[in-house]
Structure 1
């Protein structure tokens, strides 16, 4: 830690002190440090392995666009070290959703959806700039666009079904292959990559995003799906009131239509959203199922309240049964529910605490003590 602080101070041209560990992850160390002038900055240092190097590149290139996150003050490619402006101790969207104030949670969700939609829309013309930034800060690793995880997940999902002793329904591979990147080629938009609730800060100036490790361009539908299913790849997963889920999706759609006018067509929008739900349901199953089979576990090590893996999986599979146009995929969901989830003695996934009628005070951690996001538990 002393070495990180010294190197970060040298980058800024002033000494840093009083580091506070903000959690980080296996890929990175994140510190809040006081500056010699009395202010504070965030220092993030990345490990030396392929995934950490790619995370450094994504974070630095994404922040360099200056579209949504904290200001990037300095970066050192050799040390995989960067210094950001400190956005302060403000509540996250997770704090609001897991709290007891439904009005605050609703405002936070609407601000989140509008903010992500504006980000996707205003970034459309800057894709080449991001590619150049990736090359400049690169660690010799491909971007997420060059190595699309959505397509890689197809074979992995089929292998997982076999591993579980299940036979994939005829046509499943063709359906998943046809879904592809859920429209990423036609409707790309920038995303920090991890827009889960605890990476969305509700500041006096509005929504600010943190964690750009997986930054890049992907289908706007994949981001919009976070409204419908909500928070597709995250640990903070509960059910939203149906009318509110529809409103936040409409907020996002309203913003992206400014750049992609044809997405105002209802049939086209619904088709893209269905593809995104397929993509994220497959991804969630791949991330959680192997850990959920032997025994259940919570979706986050420290945050409370939090659902369990089995609750989330069963909810995702059940929700996917509503899809039309993907008969093999929905048959697969029924197979997973009947063969694997039938014996799971867990309650149904409830609504977010903030929207539960008569909800009492919750033991919710604040931004000061939040740990690293651990979507897989």
Structure 2
């Protein structure tokens, strides 16, 4: 498989550069069950290419798997969009070449670094706030630098024969919002469902007052720290959404326990760093209550989606090509960890408290 992929990539780059390309020393960088990701060195001193590139190939696990064409098309369009941004606004790698038929993307190599998970795990609690501030600032710069560019992504998506306005993540969240309250009621949760808040949260996928580019999974495993800079990876379900969804996702998924303890000030470090970058674009976020409500509404939607995937009678339908495992930061929690997050939301937002406590009781028991 690796040899065949390297041969295909070499041919792709030869067509792009008009020169012979030799790719050597492949290094496995991991990847989900349906992706091959590796770093390879460019031989023969090809001056038109960087010394190393990263190759990502989308694979079908077997002949019966759903068509992955939409996932590839969305990711290719998103990388083309990001590559066209000014250097200071680019959130991650740039696209060097792509081959839809083979499901191959050739990306710039950001270099050796560590994920935000790895960095926070080894960082003493007294310094964790600095690390989280860098993460929040990177998120904010990405959002501020892409406001108003949704039409550019839509045009690139059309060239890839997909529709950037269709958001499989948002569709999955809508299913969760419809089905989770019913399933919790079947398990004895009779608290009033915060329907209005759920509708507001779902609207953050299709509209929202703080709309910007979102890779979709900005969790700590997809935030790479290289030379002190934070970059975001994996644009498979990228699109334009309300930026509140990204900051809420980061808050829910980062490893809050660092150096044996937890500091509630860490959340503030992440939020304030993000706000410092985006408040000039969205002045309404200068108001603390407005900001808090915006984030907790987004968190309500993410936790409802995580609960949907957690329940034993869980998802019974997905959009074509959608893989819940892509948002693995939401699927890796135990029932107790998910319940803890529901409890935290209940404390942060009284409007959601009864429903959140009921949901926490059910997922903890399961």
Between the aligned partners of 1:79 and 1:89, the Cα distance in structure 2 is: 27
Partner of 2:293: 271
Q: Deviations over 1:318-377 (max 9, x none)?
A: 112114452xx4322222344553x68xxxxxxxxxxxxxxxxxxxxxxxxxxxxxxxxx
Aligned residue among 74, 91, 101 for 2:114: 91
Partner of 1:29: 36
* Map 1:251-290 → 2, pairs under 5 A: 251-290=273-312
* Map 1:25-174 → 2, pairs under 5 A: 25-37=32-44, 39-48=51-60, 50=66, 52-64=68-80, 65-66=82-83, 67-102=90-125, 105-138=128-161, 143-144=166-167, 148-162=171-185, 165-174=187-196
TM-score (norm 2): 0.78
Offset at residue 165 of structure 1 (A) = 2.7
Partner of 1:19: 26
Offset at residue 50 of structure 1 (A) = 4.7
Offset at residue 216 of structure 1 (A) = 1.0
Q: Deviations over 1:266-325 (max 9, x none)?
A: 332222122112112212212334399xxxxxxx9xxxxxx8513311211211211445
Offset at residue 177 of structure 1 (A) = 2.8
Q: How many residues align?
A: 325
Offset at residue 192 of structure 1 (A) = 1.3
Query: Alignment partner of 1:207: what SS?
Result: strand
TM-score (norm 1): 0.76
Between the aligned partners of 1:230 and 1:291, the Cα distance in structure 2 is: 24
Q: Deviations over 1:97-135 (max 9, x none)?
A: 111444664433211100100100110121110111122
Offset at residue 265 of structure 1 (A) = 2.3
- Greater fraction helix: 2
Between the aligned partners of 1:141 and 1:218, the Cα distance in structure 2 is: 11
Q: Cα–Cα, structure 1 residues 199 and 54, in superposed 2: closer, same or farther, change >3 Å? A: same
Between the aligned partners of 1:172 and 1:246, the Cα distance in structure 2 is: 25
Q: Which runs of 5+ in 2 are unaligned?
A: 15-20, 46-50, 84-89, 315-324, 326-331
Q: Cα–Cα, structure 1 residues 194 and 103, in superposed 2: closer, same or farther, change >3 Å? A: same
Q: Which runs of 5+ in 1 are unaligned?
A: 293-299, 301-306, 345-377
When structure 1 is superposed on structure 2, of 44-53 and 136-145 the one drifting more is 136-145
Partner of 2:212: 189
Offset at residue 167 of structure 1 (A) = 4.6
When structure 1 is superposed on structure 2, of 91-100 and 173-182 the one drifting more is 173-182
Offset at residue 199 of structure 1 (A) = 1.3
Offset at residue 142 of structure 1 (A) = 6.5
Aligned residue among 295, 299, 316 for 2:341: 316
Offset at residue 43 of structure 1 (A) = 0.8
When structure 1 is superposed on structure 2, of 268-277 and 244-253 the one drifting more is 268-277
Coordinate RMSD, CA, aligned:
3.1
Offset at residue 11 of structure 1 (A) = 1.1
Contact 2:168/2:237 (<8 A) preserved: no
Query: Alignment partner of 2:39: what SS?
Result: strand
Partner of 1:249: 271
